[in-house]
Amino acid sequence: MSTLDMSVTPLREVNVTLQEAAKSQSNNAYEITNPRGSHAVAVGLDGPLSVTVKGSTGYYCAGMNKLATIRVEGSTGPGVAENMMSGEVVIEGDASQYAGATGRGGLLNIKGNASSRCGISMKGIDIVVHGNIGHMSAFMAQKGNLVVLGDAGDALGDSLYEARLFVRGTVKSLGADCIEKEMRPEHIEILQELLARAGADAKPEEFKRYGSARRLYNFNIDHADEY
């Protein structure tokens, strides 16, 4: 495993090194030490690389990830795994606002809590949060799965499209056009697979599913107050 020490190596050099290694399809492993809350660590990786960040990071860590596996042994600032395409991002601590925003694929595995707007505008990503999530999570979520082992804040799933939301704890309130839905066998199967991938100690039967009521797809004067 190669080590990049951010107390002596500038952020730009760290990211260039990782990006070039990812492009080479080398399957190499890197360890980043002394991140000291730096922003945009390990962004834009486009290949099967393994990266372990030994500490907490600032905003947009692991953004635009593709194929790489990135593990943060700490917490992350806003926008972790933003616009993620594939691969896996694991956060051992907590994640700040809009974790996994606009993500299109891959797995974002948050072992702690996530703040507000988790999974905003998600477009195919799978997000598993072992703790709680904040308000307006999955706002305008279009596709993918958001799994929450704890509780959800206000306005969950506001204006969402076809994403599936699974919450084991309580939901403070549902957003516009978000309703509780039946847990059918295919949803139990999807959830079971996601929990296993994330190493989550929970049973699918403990969760409730939420999704779109599909009332806002086309303008209807009877629902004008919800737009």
Question: Please, what are the domains in the chain?
Answer: 2-226 (2.160.20.60)
- 222 pLDDT more than 80: no
Mean pLDDT (whole number) for 195-223: 89
Look at residue 70 and give its three-state secondary structure: strand
Instruction: Quote the pLDDT of residue 216.
Output: 77
Whether the pLDDT of residue 221 is over 90: the answer is no
Whole-angstrom Cα distance, residue 203 to residue 192?
Answer: 7
pLDDT value of residue 219: 64
* Confidence bin at 226 (pLDDT 50/70/90): low
* 79 pLDDT above the threshold of 90: yes
Instruction: Indicate whether 218 pLDDT > 80.
Output: no
Mean pLDDT of 174-181: 96
**How much is the average pLDDT of 183-189?**
97
Output the average pLDDT for the chain.
95
- Position 227 scores a pLDDT of 55
Mean pLDDT for 58-77 is: 98
Q: Please report the pLDDT score of residue 224 as a whole number.
A: 65
Provide the whole-model pTM: 0.95
Could you tell me the pLDDT band of residue 36, with boundaries at 50, 70 and 90?
very high
Averaged pLDDT for residues 100-122: 98
* Residues of the chain above pLDDT 70, percent: 96
The pLDDT of residue 223 is: 64
Half-sphere exposure of 46 toward its Cβ, with a 13 Å CA cutoff? 6
Residue spans of alpha helices (H) in 9-140:
11-23
